[in-house]
Amino acid sequence: MPDLRTGGCMCGAVRYEINLDNSRTGNCHCKDCQKNSGTGFMPFTNVDRGQFRWITAPKGEACASDIAVRRFCKECGSPLTWEGHSEPDRIAISMGTLDDVEGIEIVYEIFTRSRWACFSPVSGARQYEGGGS
């Protein structure tokens, strides 16, 4: 049975459904994610694009670099996705937008060279100085 979950933005204007089967969840410590989240890292859950669908799509879209587009709610500002141009068949969902995060484990951390000293590595998660996951 698929691990189907729902999520959305803070104000409820954006909603999605995601199948977490074979998903991978990790923390990104890159400077862009720090700026986007307003904190030291962003946790993302990555799935094949076919495992994700918008129920109500966001209207906000931004490209802080040429490697990805970030989608967000234009009403409340909630960051929702990171979609890399080099991996069009994958989508990374901002884990904080899931309605239920029960049982989801952080299995990797990327861009750890930018990790703030106040955050310890996640025990058991693979650590990458750059973007490898």
d(CA 123, CA 14): 33
As a whole number, mean pLDDT of residues 11-23 equals: 97
Please state, rounded to an integer, the average pLDDT across all residues of the chain: 95
pLDDT digits (tens, 9 = 90+) for 20-41: 999 999 999 999 999 999 999 9
Tokens of 35: 């700026």
DSSP annotation string for 39-90? SS-EEEEEEEGGGEEEEE---EEE-SSSSEEEEE-TTT--EEEEEETT-TTE
Single pTM value for the model: 0.92
Q: For the domain made up of 4-127, give the CATH fold.
A: 2.170.150
Model confidence over 51-73: pLDDT tens digits? 999 999 999 999 888 889 999 99
Binned at pLDDT 50, 70 and 90, residue 95 comes out as: very high
> DSSP secondary-structure letter at 117?
T
Task: Tell me the torsion sign for CA atoms 28, 32, 34, 36.
Answer: negative
- Domain residue limits, the chain: 4-127
Secondary-structure percent of the chain, ordered helix, strand, coil, rounded to 5: 10, 40, 50
